[in-house]
Structure 1
Amino acid sequence: MRKLCFTVLLFHGLTTAIAQQYSNTVKEQITRVENNLSGGVVMDGYHIQERMKHYNVTGLSIAVIDNYQIVWAKGYGYADKKENRKVTTNTLFEPGSISKSLNAIGVLQLAQHGKLNLHEDINRYLTSWTFPYDTLSNNKKITTAQLLSHTAGVSVYGFPGYERNSIIPGITEILDGKYPANTPPIRSLTEPGTAFSYSGGGILISQQILTDITQQPYEQFMYKNVLKPLGMSNSFYNQPPPADQQKNLATGYERNGAEVPGKYFVYPEKAAAGLWTTPTDIGKYIIEMQLAYKGLSSKVLNQEIAGLHLTPYGDESAAMGTFLQDRNGEKYFFHDARNQGFSGFYIAGLTNGKGVVLFVNSEDGTILLELLNSIALVYDWEGFAKPQQIKGKSD
């Protein structure tokens, strides 16, 4: 997992649409989105396939939310070039840190059911491993709320993953940085609760807390209690993926267009980077959180606990599992991500019923922000600057 920075990101193939008949209005909106990609300036004549070729993006998948509904979803390019397998709306991507948002739902659900106090020492809940406090923590205890909001002051920014033919370490080996783990031990860097410091390592600790409390395999608990209730039927945390899903997986590609060794990497750090999913499924999560925040649904979290997922905690831009933006008074929640050969992000309005999910099986995610600009323009997203309109093409 290598996280893209949403706030600084300049945020060839055939097209395959979902097997659904859209209204003429939606078809016109799709065409406008496809033809107005920009990084702040709309160049007449730019089409999504041109930009995919420009950035050497093999495949792309998108789901657009308006008025609390997925109004359209579509795939472009190839899930696997050698197999001549095109991206469809059912193609599964491995979009890295977006895993953290769904992980937070699982952990918050434990708090909702009284099985976890978010503000108590994590060692109260860790039974198969204990966090080794030292002088850097300044005698302060780390809480689960701090882990989820990246304010726990712990190490290991992200995880690089493992080639499929590698020896895959267990979770406690990764937590302690022992062979065959390829990352250092997860330990205190600063006193907890004093500052924001992004840490995939902290999220891995939350994975261990969840499995120690539930005494269930992580992927099993998450599917039964989070993914399935949300209707995310095409998503799973299994690492490596099940054999019967191989035909549905996108292959990852490097920036130069080369296939990732083994087609994709394995991430035993499931909570931090191990979710396989589709934009449509992430769209279902977004809509449920939007509705739960307003008290209109409670499939996985009630209004109070959903608020914790979408409200700043310890840092004005970070919540428990999401990041937050105030764009000229309009509030949005989002998460971006990158695994080996994959990039993606989602962003959604807190109260306006709008959102988008975008995945590519490429390490270059620049096209994603160009698409976001186009979608924000077509669907009149509040708080987004209108791109400058000019004539002619330019790179």
Structure 2
Amino acid sequence: MQRRKFILWGGQTALFSVAGLSSMANLNPLQYSSFLNLTSEPLAKELEKLIPKLMQEAKIPGLSIALVRNGQLSWSKGFGVKDQLSKKPVNPNTIFEIASVSKTVFAYAVMKLCEKGIIDLDIPLVQYANIGFLDNDPRINLITARHVLSHRSGLQNWRSQDDPIKLHFDPGTDFLYSGEGYYYLQSIVTQLTGKVNPNECGSYEGDVKVCASDIGDYLEKNVLRPFGMNSSGYVWTEAIGKDQALPHDPNGQLITKPNQTATDMARYAAAGGLLTSANDYARFIIGLFSPKENDPFILNKKRMMEMVRPHIKLREEQKIDGASSWALGWAVQERPEGNVILHSGGQTGFKSLAMVSLEKKSGFVILTNCDNGAYVLNNPKVEKVLSRLFE
């Protein structure tokens, strides 16, 4: 099994002011599989002029963007190409690796398991399954789902030969962004809801052995498909490959990476494994605006509010993407006019950003297929335009 490493992108991304919006009719994103009759988006012309220029400056081959305004998709567009060899154009349905933005979808799935009573946010995970994770430190017995989702487990981001897996502080007492924490919680979810194939295994960072599981199938069935994210997935398929953007280095040159397997996803699905498009992720954003009671897939309002409320204030040196605090699966910027939740993502050849105002029912997602993607995502000119989405 070929090693596959997913790397957190922790670049600082400016956040945008939120103000009142005029009332518009809401659409139910769970009842349709494609967007029709897009509303006129006043920011479109400015972004269509600005984005290609920035992409050219940074040698970014492809980008896809979707804007949500007042509970519905207001505009989406692809720029550039899927890869420098085929030169096939990007469109809003092009599939990208969204890296750590995947954590927002996994967190939603965990919150639904909590709502169903299958797991509790505050019961130590070892009480659900003892998978032999960090047996040499008894503090592992303290880690809960809440700790993991808010990055307070004490585990580092990813282990390595030089940095073996360990707890850096008592669980719940501090903040440390952790892909390993999400891997641990994902492993518990798999024990509770799925199965592992012991005959299909691989070795990953720090020589950790991981065997294939059906976690991708579980997340597709319980989050992606109910939200109408019908083109998205975790394990690579030919259908995904037909619409997939490929990764590129800082010089805009194609990077060769292996396709995602069930074994890879047993390690990375929760932390960074989602393959999705701008349009599909927009469906997820829109679904956040419509909590439901007694629905098999959609969170009720209580759980939804628990997921997005700030759980820990961040010190200056801990801040990611300019966030002031962290919720469950989301970073948070606390603003007088209403909180904004967001998440960035980055792994070899891909950079992404999603940002949402639940109060205003607006947000956006931007996906790029280049290591230089942050040049667009962090650009002050892009920030200035997108800030008006929340006015």
TM-score normalized with structure 2 length: 0.78
SS at 1:91 equivalent: coil
SS in 2 for 1:80: coil
- The residue that corresponds to 1:168 in the other structure is none
Flag the 1:281–1:133 CA change in 2: closer, same or farther, 3 A.
farther
For the 8 Å contact 1:251–1:264, the answer to whether it is kept is no
- Kindly indicate whether the alpha-carbon contact (under 8 Å) linking 1:287 and 1:353 is maintained by their aligned counterparts in 2: yes
Could you say which residue in structure 1 is the equivalent of 2:333? 325
SS in 1 for 2:275: coil
Which 4+ runs in 1 deviate beyond 6 A? 18-21, 263-266, 295-298
5+ residue gaps, structure 2: 1-5, 17-33, 196-213, 315-324
Show the counterpart of 1:352. 360
Secondary structure of 2:81's counterpart equals strand
> Take 2:288 and 2:36, find their aligned partners in 1: how far apart are those partners?
25
Q: Does 1:376 align with 2:387?
A: yes
CA distance in 2, matches of 1:30, 1:237: 31
Between the two proteins, what is the percent identity of the paired residues? Answer: 27
For residues 347-367 of structure 1, the C-alpha deviation after alignment (integer angstroms, 9 at most, x for no partner) is 011201110100000112121
Residues 88-167 of structure 1: pairs in structure 2 closer than 5 A: 88-132=91-135, 134=137, 137=139, 141-155=142-156, 157-158=157-158
Q: Which amino acid aligns with 2:245?
A: A
Matched residue SS, 1:291: coil
CA distance in 1, matches of 2:258, 2:81: 13
Q: Which runs of no fewer than 5 residues in structure 1 stay unpaired? A: 12-17, 36-46, 159-176, 383-395
1:26-82 Cα shifts (integer Å, max 9, x gaps)? 3x53102333xxxxxxxxxxx321111001110000000101111111100001120
CA drift of 1:270 comes to 1.2
Equivalent AA in structure 2 for residue 203 of structure 1: Y
Distance 1:145 1:182 in 2: 28
Instruction: Report the secondary structure of 1:63's partner residue.
Output: strand
2:202 — aligned with what? none
Matched, 1:191 2:170: yes
Matched, 1:243 2:244: no
**TM-aligned CA distance change 1:185 to 1:229, over 3 Å:** farther
Superposed CA offset, 1:300-356 (max 9, x none):
211111112111224461111111002343310000000110000100112011101
Cα distance, 1:140 vs structure 2: 6.5
Q: Check whether the contact 1:92–1:248 (CA below 8 A) recurs between aligned residues.
A: yes
Give the structure 1 partner of residue 310 of structure 2. Answer: 312
Residue matched to 1:2:
7
The TM-score, its normalising length taken from structure 1, stands at 0.77
User: Is the CA contact (8 Å cut-off) linking 2:289 and 2:361 kept in structure 1?
Assistant: yes
The alpha carbon displacement at 1:132 in A equals 1.9
Change (3 A) 1:286 1:8: closer
Deviations 1:223-278 (A, max 9, x none): 1111111111111121xx11332111110001111211237777431111110001
Q: 1:264-302, CA deviations, whole angstroms, 9 ceiling, x for partnerless residues?
A: 777431111110001111111112213329x89985211
Quote the Cα distance in structure 1 between the aligned partners of 2:46 and 2:71.
Answer: 21
Question: Would you say 1:367 and 2:346 are equivalent positions?
Answer: no
User: Cα distance 1:92–1:119, how it changes in 2: closer, same or farther (>3 A)?
Assistant: same
Distance 1:304 1:72, change over 3 A: same
8 A contact 1:89–1:280 mirrored in 2: yes
Q: Does structure 2 retain, via aligned residues, the 8 Å contact 1:236–1:275?
A: yes
Query: Which residue is equivalent to 1:272?
Result: 271
Partners of 1:265 and 1:340 within 8 A in 2: no
* Paired AA for residue 319 in structure 1: A
Q: 1:298 and 1:215, CA in 2 relative to 1: closer, same or farther beyond 3 A?
A: closer
Choose from 33, 40, 59 the match for 2:47.
Answer: 33
What SS does the corresponding residue of 1:33 show, helix, strand or coil?
helix
- The alpha carbon displacement at 1:104 in A equals 0.8
1:342 paired with 2:379, answer no
The question of whether the paired residues in 2 share the 8 Å contact of 1:225 and 1:300 is answered with no
More displaced 10-residue stretch of structure 1: 68-77 or 368-377: 368-377
Q: 1:220 to 1:350 in 2, by over 3 A?
A: same
8 Å CA contact 2:155–2:180 kept in 1: the answer is yes
Counterpart of 1:213?
192
